[in-house]
Amino acid sequence: MTERFTGSFTQQEPIPEQGIAAALDVLRHGRLHRYNTAPDETAETALLEQEFAAFTGARYALAVASGGYALGCALRALGVGPGDAVLTNAFTLAPVPGAIAAVGARPVYVGVTEALVIDLDDLAAKLDQARVLMLSHMRGHICDMDRLMALCDAAGVRVIEDCAHTMGASWNGTASGRHGILGCYSTQTYKHMNSGEGGLLVTDDAELAARAVMLSGSYMLYDRHLAAPPPETFAELKYLTPNVSGRMDNLRAAILRPQLAALPDQIARWNDRYRVVDQGLRDTPGLRLIDRPAAETYVGSSFQALVLDWPAPKVQALLARCAARGVELKWFGAAEPVAFTSRYDSWRYAPADPMPATDRILAAILDMRLPLTFSLDDCAQIARILRAEISAVHQQG
């Protein structure tokens, strides 16, 4: 009897009861817009920002409509505009080059290493081409942030961190999103907190924070924020900063606040699952696991491993065999972009020179989500199935 996994890789946990109750309160009073508050009422959105600033240790936080919006807002706040070059990862997801293209700028891609992080040597060679790096901690893998920041600081390149997969993670004790000048997070359903759509942005820089607040569409109501700079900071900026509406609403914030309180426990649960898969796949012939550096505190909400230098038909055979046993793998080597998986050479609006070393890694990445609806037994079963199928296909040569 070959076992078959029957869980769903896209099924997240329900919204916690406390979030449902808070959402019903908002629905019943009807004041969903963040600046629509009763006398003496503090908006859920403002409270979420205050709590998220405390969670990350940032001076300022802003809640917005999506993670992609947060990235675009960060670029605009830094004054990135038409024709500017922005360094970014070749291994990332579509909202990252999309945010760059949306302000009329042009991504300059930096390669990926076998550890699935940005190639710092490639970055060093390209630092003179741009004044901003949009660094994507893709799938939660964090590069040597000390070295990256030293390189960027020396070159005068400012760093925006895309923490869509690292909310709650850290490097050398500093929260992800707090190394660069701005940190951006997503609260879309597949990330570490779920409000359907949503995003957060943090910074210690008062002027950038004020610009971001104005950009998000605060009209002149910035004094209703609890995690924004004081009104003086807005004195000039309010006349100079366009409104590019992208606010978060009180309904989403109400859903998110209890999730933020529970995030440390959720991270521990994700990492329990990650470790079961990792252990189950140790020493699988043909498979290269990703060693996590000691300085990195990660959130194991997804799992990646490499089948290095396997020819494409062999990987395709593996994917088909795993799928037949209920294990859904994503692959970054397919010729055509599929679902959430696309590649730098699929983004034809932002053409790139060929990157053979990066292509070799992308063609080897096996990727799967580990939603918290999976039990530890589920994770052990997934690892058994993967191990069996990878070994079988590997042996076929």
Ligand X SMILES: *Cc1c(COP(=O)(O)O)cnc(C)c1O
Binding site for ligand X (CB under 6 A): 66-68, 92-93, 95-96, 136, 138, 162, 164-165, 186, 188, 199
Residue 71 CA, distance from chain mean position: 10
Q: Name the nearest CA neighbour of 184 among 71, 76, 96.
A: 71
Please, which residue, 199 or 333, has the CB nearer to ligand X?
199
Q: How far is the CB of 377 from ligand X (least distance, A)?
A: 28
Burial class (CB within 10 angstroms; exposed 0-12, middle 13-18, buried 19+) of 62: buried
Residue corresponding to tokens 């769903």: 8
Cβ atoms of residues 286 and 310 within 8 Å: yes
Please, which residue, 37 or 136, has the CB nearer to ligand X?
136
Please, which residue, 19 or 72, has the CB nearer to ligand X?
72
Please, which residue, 192 or 325, has the CB nearer to ligand X?
192
Write out the two tokens for 323: 């799928």
Q: How far is the CB of 98 from ligand X (least distance, A)?
A: 9
Q: How far is the CB of 68 from ligand X (least distance, A)?
A: 3
Q: How far is the CB of 340 from ligand X (least distance, A)?
A: 8
Cβ-based neighbours of 136, under 8 Å, separated by 6 or more: 88, 89, 91, 92, 93, 96, 118, 162, 164
Q: How far is the CB of 313 from ligand X (least distance, A)?
A: 28
Burial class (CB within 10 angstroms; exposed 0-12, middle 13-18, buried 19+) of 206: middle
Please, which residue, 31 or 165, has the CB nearer to ligand X?
165
Which residue of the chain is nearest ligand X when measured via CB? 67
Hey, which residues does 338 pair with through a beta bridge?
341
Give CB contacts under 8 A, 24+ apart, made by 10-13. Answer: 10/190, 10/369, 10/371, 11/371, 11/373, 12/189, 12/190, 12/194, 12/371, 12/372, 12/373, 13/371, 13/372, 13/373
Annotated catalytic residue, options 191, 238, 314, 330 = 191
Q: How far is the CB of 223 from ligand X (least distance, A)?
A: 28
Please, which residue, 205 or 367, has the CB nearer to ligand X?
367
Angstrom distance (rounded) from CA 390 to CA 376: 21
Burial class (CB within 10 angstroms; exposed 0-12, middle 13-18, buried 19+) of 328: middle
Cβ atoms of residues 33 and 250 within 8 Å: yes
- Judge whether 191 counts as a catalytic residue: yes
Residues involved in catalysis = 191
